[in-house]
A and B are shown apart, each in its own frame.
Chain A
């Protein structure tokens, strides 16, 4: 009956890796305030390994849980592996998200890519642009469902 799975609620209530890395090697920010969710991910990189990951998110329960889960899934992993993380994997790790909340897991995937791209840009590391598609525009997808 619950809106969210126990996993989602666990990651919402006790989010992992919340915070800011002051001397981050890369920062990724996606979403916008108008749409009600912004995700910001900070990464620390050493020898191609994500030694630390932190996040701050303005958004709903599933946005916060997706951020928490995604950071946990990539922390301590090589960048190459983090780049293969899909939104679907994040959602599955959370034991699923309601259909209209899937965009939250998409934001998590995009925020991680944005942080890695930022790290590459700052360090002059060459990369294949195809790996970093433009985050999609949420405003164009506004569904107009109703309530009450």
Chain B
């Protein structure tokens, strides 16, 4: 392979050197169990405390030293599951059986909600419109006296829309409804402050901001009840049993510290590269940008190219050393394209031909040049073999975009 251009950072990121270095002492010397009484255990316990303090500070959770609001989990999915099920059942105890969400949440949220529906809850899924966003007013209108929880993602993993979290949080606070946000794509990428953003519960995952896989955290505001999903020991103040992943937690804290301290610089750099990509790739005939054009993650480009199929596109790009992703059915092992693209009202045949490029600050202008040169070539390669493209070209089928 000539070169490798990794632009699939919404799937996962490379660990930063600093995060890797932060792990090593806890894999080598400080291998103790924080629940142990001896010195090696207690040193590990202190490291855990330090990481919790750091993360609380970085997301604005530390008000009056309330670092007990951070719970370490195995990642974003676990945090989403725990937050949603806890809040739903806390509501049920007061006779509330209604939950509000959106149609384009991550499956960690959607499938948890589907399960709750089977258990007797009622869920309102707010339409995200063709532009891929919702308003706080729409959330407000959906709130009922029996609403137990609003769970809305901070930013969408596929199309990059950034939702009006602060306003939604304010509405929930005013209506006294618990507000959870799946912030897996936002933490470390956007300024996130749980107090200013009126957030009660927030899920995050380390590997999305150059930390390790298998570790994440759940912020749960003091006073918001939290039930455990995993029974066992008394770790995480009895809310999450299991010996702590100290190395992972310390690496996560370091990665987040690095991301937050470079946030402005990284956001500007990524947004400039993103905008150059969008402008350049939009010149491909019969292409379309998906998601919110204004309120958008700095690193997200998601486009459809009519007459192409996503997996073929990815294979051609992979041959050129470009690692990207697609919402096509063939990449999901089902025949349905991405539920996110369908939620935006994009027709199936267009959704199959989607390409997501997700940047990190590690990407370079030279790599953007390479993408701008090679993506159109790959689109042409797919279209050259495509009978659907033939039909569009010779007018047997009407162009939809």
Q: Which residues of A contact B (CB under 8 A)?
A: 9, 12-13, 15, 18, 20, 29, 33-40, 56-64, 100-101, 138-139, 141-148
Please give me the 9 A-B residue pairs with the lowest Cβ-Cβ distance, nearest first.
A60-B330, A56-B387, A58-B388, A33-B349, A60-B311, A36-B352, A40-B387, A34-B348, A58-B386
Inter-chain pairs besides A64-B385, A148-B11, 15 sampled, C-beta below 8 Å: A29-B387, A36-B349, A56-B386, A57-B387, A58-B386, A60-B310, A60-B312, A61-B311, A61-B312, A61-B315, A62-B330, A143-B333, A143-B334, A146-B332, A148-B157
Q: How far is the CA of A29 from the CA of B332 in the complex (A)?
A: 25
Interface-central residue, B11, B309, B331, by most chain A CB under 10 Å? B309
Q: Does B384 contact A (CB under 8 A)?
A: yes
From A20, A34, A57, B349 is in contact (CB under 8 Å) with: A34
- Residues of A within 8 Å of B348, CB to CB, are 33-36
Contacts A/B (CB < 8 Å), 8 sampled: A18-B384, A33-B348, A36-B348, A40-B387, A57-B385, A58-B386, A61-B311, A148-B106
Considering the complex, give the chain A residue whose CB is closest to the CB of B348.
A34
Given contacts A59-B312, A61-B311, A64-B312, contact A36 B385 (CB under 8 A): no
Q: How far is the CA of A40 from the CA of B385 in the complex (A)?
A: 10
- Residues of A within 8 Å of B331, CB to CB, are 147
Q: How far is the CA of A32 from the CA of B204 in the complex (A)?
A: 39
How many A-B residue pairs have C-beta atoms within 8 angstroms? Tell me: 94
Asked whether B312 lies within 8 Å of A20 as measured between CB atoms, the reply is no
Q: How far is the CA of A94 from the CA of B298 in the complex (A)?
A: 42
Q: How many of chain B's residues have a CB under 8 angstroms from any CB in A?
A: 33
- Residues of A within 8 Å of B333, CB to CB, are 100, 143, 145, 147
Report B338 CB to chain A, min CB distance, Å: 9
Q: Does B27 contact A (CB under 8 A)?
A: no
CB proximity to A under 8 Å, residues B110-152: 111
- Residues of A within 8 Å of B11, CB to CB, are 148
CB proximity to A under 8 Å, residues B324-368: 328-337, 348-349, 352
Report B281 CB to chain A, min CB distance, Å: 20
Q: How far is the CA of A144 from the CA of B307 in the complex (A)?
A: 24
- Residues of A within 8 Å of B311, CB to CB, are 60-61
* Interface 0/1 of B285-327, CB less than 8 Å to A: 0000000000000000000000111111001000100000000
- Residues of A within 8 Å of B336, CB to CB, are 142, 144
Given contacts A144-B334, A145-B334, contact A36 B315 (CB under 8 A): no
Q: How far is the CA of A59 from the CA of B313 in the complex (A)?
A: 10
- Residues of B within 8 Å of A63, CB to CB, are 309
Report B89 CB to chain A, min CB distance, Å: 24
- Residues of B within 8 Å of A36, CB to CB, are 309, 328-330, 335, 337, 348-349, 352
